[in-house]
Amino acid sequence: MIVQSLRLGDIEVSEDKLITMERPVLGFEKYKKFCLVEIDELKPFLWLQAVDEATISFLVVNPRLFMTDYRIEINSKEIAELKIDDVNAVETYVVVTLAENADEITANMQGPILINTENNRGKQLVLVNTDYKVKYRFMKYLPQTETEQKQEEVAV
C-alpha cells in the first residue's frame, strides 16, 4: 500500500507493517493507523507516520539508546490491550521535539509509545509517579555515528 507523507513523499508500506494504535498519541486521537519509516540518514531516528493523514508524523527514537536504565511499568490492562505474549516483542519509542540547536532537542520520556511487533498493536502511555521528564535533552547521550567520529578526528 502507498502511504502519503508530507515530509517523506509517497511511502510503500506492506499491509502487515501497519500499526493500529489502541490508545492513540495524545492530541491526535482520531488517527489510529500508523507505520514506522526508517531512513538511513536519520538513524537511529524513525518517523511514525499516520496512514490516513499525510501531515501527521512524529520523529521517534528508542529511549534506551541514550538512557540504558529507562524502565516503565506496564499494568495488566495495558498488556491485555496490546495482547502481549512476549515482552521481548514490545518496542518502546519516545517522541522527539526538534530545535534549531541540537543541544535543545528533547524527547518526551513521560509519554512512551509501545508497539507489540507480534501483532502491530501500539499505544501511547502517560507515565505518572515518575521522575521522567516531558522535555528531556538527550542528544549528548546518543552514541556517535562513524561519520561524527571521523569529523571529530579531523578537527583535532
Residue 33 belongs to a domain = yes
Residue 110 belongs to a domain = yes
Residue 125 belongs to a domain = yes
**Domain boundaries, position 91:** 2-141
Which residues make Cβ contacts (< 8 Å) with residue 5, sequence separation at least 6?
Answer: 11, 37, 47, 49, 54, 57
Residue 30 belongs to a domain = yes
Structure confidence by residue, pLDDT tens digits, 117-126: 999 999 999 9
Residue 14 belongs to a domain = yes
CA–CA gap between residue 55 and residue 26 (Å, rounded): 16
Greatest mean pLDDT among 28-32, 86-90, 127-131, 137-141: 28-32
Residue 150 belongs to a domain = no
Structure confidence by residue, pLDDT tens digits, 103-118: 899 999 999 999 999 9
Of 34, 93, 37, nearest in space to 62 by CA: 93
Structure confidence by residue, pLDDT tens digits, 126-146: 998 899 999 999 988 877 654
Residue 32 belongs to a domain = yes
Q: How many domains does the chain have?
A: 1
Name the one residue in this structure whose C-alpha cell is 489502541.
Answer: 22
CA–CA gap between residue 135 and residue 30 (Å, rounded): 24
Residue 151 belongs to a domain = no
CA–CA gap between residue 72 and residue 64 (Å, rounded): 11
Q: What is the CATH number of the domain that holds 79?
A: 2.30.290.10
